[in-house]
């Protein structure tokens, strides 16, 4: 009688299995199956271990079974590193044997082309029918550091022991995960569960993210993403992590075009638009990074140091070397950081320890080569660790006598205070004793100032995300909507798109359509000279490229001349649009898109043709709060211009914010009907004078039948 179908094994049991079968177990650690069993034993796996080997009766002192079919007891997890050619057969055997889940290290499946993809689909189908879960294929398995269950062949497990800690990791690349865990280990970081998901034929990224959010051992989540199988699940999970008080740090492959190409082939998944992904992460309070090493070291800082009280407070750089404090301070700006402003109370406290000449930041305690130096350092640090004006303390230590002893002073001080203290050992080998002292004290250290600054910037971004998560949900402004009852599909004309925008309270030019020259003149007189004349053809994307935009027509003669010029245009026209000539100090583009599965997004940037040249745009999911719109504008390179530079007036940022918020509600309401909508440009005037959309373009999907 075939065994009963097991219930699908919960993730917690896959990660912490009661029994593990290693298919292709071997004495040879040069082989995948040899390493898997070696690491399970070395790291103290405490469940049932079942080596499967058709030839040898005993492996590493454990009796073997010839095949999964011969195992007389239920097995939670089987690990397979068999060749692709025999994978399907082995999976079928596991399914028949009632295995709960298979971790498939075997590669060359969907990652190797259509033939591999077809095989992978068959493997997944067999597993699904049997109620058996799959991790991978093309993965390196799972390090369950918390429970000592290392279900992996990764060489990161060569160390005698990995330290349990709060960092959880999900990685689409097993090799990168190995390197990152090993790097973290060198710095004394502790991990909870590290999961390499590979091709995600069954269990995917979001399944494991969901698990880590609920996992009490995980305090910080790190992610290396190439592509998501179910993008729609991702942002809600990020928000749940935030609500659970767990920071999420993420590296997404494919920001560069070359990177995106490579990522598509790596684990056979679509890379998606990086800008969209970045906007989703930011909105959900997660931090998106470029550098995986920084991700791990920052996660460690979040796990083992006090959190940054809030974003935007400055840094206190302190060390006993003028050289290191000054160069570190010079580098702050490049990382978007700044030196803290000292409050009077902090100065008073510093003056107890330092001569007046030294009561400032950066603090160099080095001029005191006597016993008072240590006392001064400790006294000032103690003050900094609670000072409301200081967000973080950075100690770039150089070669000096008693480096290890000096280093050992810091962890207790840091633990008393409520600030992150980042310790950098700038020296090479001679600094190793100090590094060892930090490991012994269970305290993070950095090897370079740049590394610590990149981590600090990440802590800033994390604190910002924490702040965002506390904001109330967006509120619809009065007069934003509703959508017109009848919405045509396809490309809208400028006037149609503007009417849609106006229905959401967005200020647009006064204008009128005219079929003839006489109608155009009447329209211009009603609107008032000077006017603008535009040729109307809904399939033209850039009107001015075809000479279809005539600006600043001051009188009837100019209007008539412009009208006949338009009539001679190289494209057929439905008529002309007569509109008021608007003024403005700056041109912005405001846009909206709908991304399948991810929802509506809005963008803002430098308007006109410059948008394509400068790519100075910011993106965020719709709808927006006013705070979100304001933050988007602040992140533009154009921002100083909006604030008013060199005697030019400050512009009406409030009007731009308002318009962006209104557009975001329009985008959200259009939902999947929206392909794209651009207001390009919006002319923005001086503070208090508002803004006007002078051009609009929109493409809508046909209404669903
Ligand atoms: P295009 O299809 O080429 O984008 P636009 O309608 O945006 O055509 O016009 C091109 C440029 O002309 C705009 O970027 C803006 O600088 C200017 N412009 C267009 N309409 C007006 C208007 N009503 N008032 C003032 N300037 C305008
Ligand atoms: Mg335009």
pLDDT of 270 above 70 = no
Q: Which one of 562, 579, 588, 681 would you pick to mutate in the ligand 1 pocket, going by the greatest count of ligand atoms within 8 A of its CB?
A: 681
Comparison of pLDDT for 284 and 370, the residue scoring more: 284
- Of ligand 1's listed atoms, the one at least distance from the Cα of 549 is 9
| For range 255-266, the mean pLDDT | 58
User: Model confidence over 19-32: pLDDT tens digits?
Assistant: 999 999 999 999 99
141-144 and 149-152 as β-strands: parallel, antiparallel, unpaired? antiparallel
CA of 590 to the centre of ligand 1 (A): 14
Closest CA to 250 of 221, 218, 217: 221
In this predicted structure, what is the pLDDT of residue 301? 98
193, 212 contact by CB (below 8 A) = yes
More confident residue, 270 or 603: 603
**Strand-pair category, 191-196 with 164-171:** parallel
Q: Tokens 């650690």 belong to which residue?
A: 29
Mutate to test the pocket of ligand 1, among 524, 544, 690 (most ligand atoms within 8 A of CB): 544
Query: Which atom, in ligand 1's list, is nearest to the CA of 543?
Result: 2
Least confident of 170-179, 270-279, 573-582, 649-658: 270-279
Start-to-end Cα distance in the chain: 51
Mean pLDDT of 561-567: 95
Predicted pLDDT at 228: 87
Q: What is the mean pLDDT of the segment spanning 593-599?
A: 88
What SS3 class is residue 214? helix
Dihedral angle computed from the Cα positions of residues 119, 124, 125 and 130, in that order, rounded to the nearest 10 degrees: 140
Return the residue whose CA atom lies nearest to atom 27 of ligand 1.
694
pLDDT for 353 equals 87
Residue that is written with structure tokens 């591999």 in the block? 116
- The pLDDT value recorded for residue 376 is 83
- Best substitution site from 508, 551, 680 to test ligand 1's pocket, by max atoms within 8 Å of Cβ? 551
Q: Cα torsion at 327, 333, 339, 341 (round to 10°)? A: 150
In this structure, what is the dihedral angle of CA atoms 381, 386, 387, 392, given to the nearest 10 degrees? 70
Per-residue pLDDT at 612 exceeds 80: no
Q: Is 244 exposed, middle or buried (0-12, 13-18, 19+ CB in 10 A)?
A: middle
Condensed to tens digits (0 to 9), the pLDDT of residues 283-294 reads 999 999 999 999
Give the position, in ligand 1's atom list, of the atom nearest the Cα of 509: 23
Q: Look at residue 167 in the predicted model and tell me its pLDDT.
A: 98
Give residue 364's pLDDT band: very low, low, confident or very high (50, 70, 90): confident
The tens digit of pLDDT for each residue in 495-548 reads 999 999 999 999 999 999 999 999 999 999 999 999 999 999 988 888 998 999
Angle between helices 205-214 and 231-243 (to 10 degrees): 10
pLDDT at 369: 47
Six token digits for residue 35: 């390493």
Mutate to test the pocket of ligand 1, among 511, 695, 697 (most ligand atoms within 8 A of CB): 695
Mean pLDDT, rounded, for 213-232: 94
Whole-angstrom distance, CA of residue 561 vs CA of residue 175: 69
207 alpha carbon – ligand 2 mean position (Å): 44
CA of 270 to the centre of ligand 1 (A): 37
Q: How confident is the model at residue 259 (pLDDT cuts 50, 70, 90)?
A: low
Distance from the alpha carbon of residue 694 to the mean position of ligand 1, in angstroms = 6
What is the predicted pLDDT for the residue at 470? 82
Which residues line the pocket of ligand 1, CB cutoff 6 A? 509, 532, 534, 542-544, 549, 551, 579, 581-582, 587, 608, 681, 694-695
Specify the pLDDT at position 367: 64
**Residue with token string 């009188």:** 555
pLDDT of residue 665: 98
| Better-predicted residue by pLDDT, 292 or 313 | 292
pTM value is 0.91
Output the residue whose Cα is nearest ligand 1's atom 10.
544
Task: Work out the pLDDT band at 320, boundaries 50, 70, 90.
Answer: confident
Token pair listed for 696: 């609009």
**pLDDT digits 0-9 by tens, 453-490:** 999 999 999 999 998 888 899 999 999 999 999 898 99
Q: Looking at ligand 1, which residue's alpha carbon is closest to its atom 15?
A: 681
The ligand whose atoms approach the alpha carbon of 548 most closely is 1
What is the C-alpha to C-alpha distance for residues 276 and 598, in angstroms, rounded to an integer?
A: 9
State the sign of the Cα–Cα–Cα–Cα dihedral 142, 146, 150, 155. positive
* pLDDT score of 372 more than 80: no
- How high does pLDDT run on average in the chain? 92
Interatomic CA distance for residues 15 and 76, integer angstroms: 10
SS3 of the chain: helix, strand, coil, percent, to 5 = 40, 20, 40
Percentage of the chain modeled with pLDDT above 70: 95
Report d(CA 189, CA 553) in Å as an integer. Answer: 69
pLDDT above 70: residue 314: yes
Atom of ligand 1 nearest to the CA of 540: 2
Q: Which atom of ligand 1 is nearest to the CA of 534?
A: 6
What pLDDT shows up at residue 267?
A: 37
Residue 703 has a pLDDT of 86
């Amino acid at each position: 009688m075939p065994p009963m179908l097991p219930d699908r094994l919960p993730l917690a049991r896959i990660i912490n299995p009661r029994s593990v079968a290693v298919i292709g177990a071997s004495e040879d650690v040069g082989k995948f199956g040899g390493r898997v069993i070696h690491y399970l034993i070395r790291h103290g796996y405490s469940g049932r271990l079942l080596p499967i080997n058709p030839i040898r009766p005993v492996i590493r002192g454990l009796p073997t079974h010839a095949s999964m079919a011969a195992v007389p007891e239920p097995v939670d997890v089987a690990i397979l590193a068999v060749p692709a050619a025999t994978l399907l057969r082995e999976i079928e055997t596991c399914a028949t044997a009632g295995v709960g889940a298979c971790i498939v290290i075997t590669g060359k499946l969907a990652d190797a082309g259509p033939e591999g993809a077809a095989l992978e689909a068959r493997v997944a189908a067999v597993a699904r029918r049997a109620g058996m879960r799959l991790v991978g294929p093309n993965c390196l398995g799972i390090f369950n550091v918390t429970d000592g269950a290392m279900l992996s062949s990764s060489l990161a497990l060569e160390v005698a022991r990995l330290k349990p800690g709060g960092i959880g990791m999900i990685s689409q690349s097993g090799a990168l995960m190995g390197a990152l865990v090993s790097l973290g280990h060198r710095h004394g970081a502790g991990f909870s569960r590290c999961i390499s998901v590979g091709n995600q034929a069954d269990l995917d990224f979001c399944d494991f993210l969901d698990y880590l959010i609920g996992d009490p051992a995980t305090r910080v989540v790190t992610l290396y993403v190439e592509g998501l199988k179910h993008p729609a699940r991702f942002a809600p999970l990020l928000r749940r992590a935030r609500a659970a008080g767990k920071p999420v740090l993420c590296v997404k492959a494919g920001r560069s075009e070359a990177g995106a190409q490579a990522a598509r082939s790596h684990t056979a998944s679509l890379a998606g638009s990086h800008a969209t992904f970045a906007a989703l992460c930011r909105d959900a309070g997660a931090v998106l990074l470029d550098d995986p090493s920084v991700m791990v070291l920052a996660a460690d800082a979040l796990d083992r140091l006090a959190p940054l009280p809030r974003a935007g407070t400055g840094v206190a750089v302190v060390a006993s070397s003028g050289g290191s404090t000054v160069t570190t301070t010079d580098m702050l700006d490049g990382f978007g950081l700044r030196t803290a402003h000292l409050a009077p109370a902090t100065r008073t406290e510093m003056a107890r320890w330092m001569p007046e000449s030294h009561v400032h930041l950066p603090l160099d305690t080095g001029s005191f080569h006597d016993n008072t130096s240590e006392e001064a350092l400790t006294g000032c640090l103690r003050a900094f660790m609670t000072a409301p004006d200081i967000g973080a303390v950075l100690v770039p230590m150089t070669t000096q006598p008693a480096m290890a002893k000096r280093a050992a002073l810091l962890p207790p001080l840091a633990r008393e205070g409520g600030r992150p203290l980042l310790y950098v050992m700038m020296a090479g080998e001679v600094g190793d004793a100090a590094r060892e002292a930090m490991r012994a004290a269970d305290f993070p250290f950095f090897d370079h100032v740049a590394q610590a600054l990149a981590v600090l910037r990440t802590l800033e971004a994390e604190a910002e995300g924490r702040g965002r998560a506390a904001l109330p949900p967006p509120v619809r402004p009065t007069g934003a909507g509703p959508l017109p009852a009848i919405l045509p599909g396809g490309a809208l004309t400028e006037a149609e798109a503007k009417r849609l925008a106006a229905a959401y309270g967005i200020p647009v030019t006064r204008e009128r359509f005219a079929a003839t020259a006489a109608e155009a003149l009447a329209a211009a007189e009603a609107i008032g000279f000077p006017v603008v004349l535009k040729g109307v053809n809904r399939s033209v994307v850039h009107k001015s490229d075809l000479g279809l935009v005539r600006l600043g027509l001051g009188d009837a003669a100019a209007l008539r001349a412009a009208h006949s010029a338009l009539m001679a245009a190289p494209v057929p026209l439905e008529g002309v649009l007569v509109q008021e000539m608007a003024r403005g100090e700056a041109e912005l583009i405001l846009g909206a898109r709908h991304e399948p599965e991810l929802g509506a997004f809005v963008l803002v940037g430098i308007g006109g043709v410059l948008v394509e040249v400068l790519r100075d745009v910011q993106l965020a999911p719709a709808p927006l709060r006013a705070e979100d719109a304001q933050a988007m504008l602040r992140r533009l390179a154009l921002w100083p211009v909006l604030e008013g530079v060199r005697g030019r007036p400050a512009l009406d940022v409030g009007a731009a914010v308002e318009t962006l918020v209104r557009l975001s509600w329009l985008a959200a309401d259009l939902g999947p009907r929206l392909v794209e909508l651009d207001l390009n440009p919006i002319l923005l005037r001086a503070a208090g004078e508002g803004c006007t959309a002078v051009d609009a373009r929109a493409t809508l999907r046909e209404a669903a039948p």
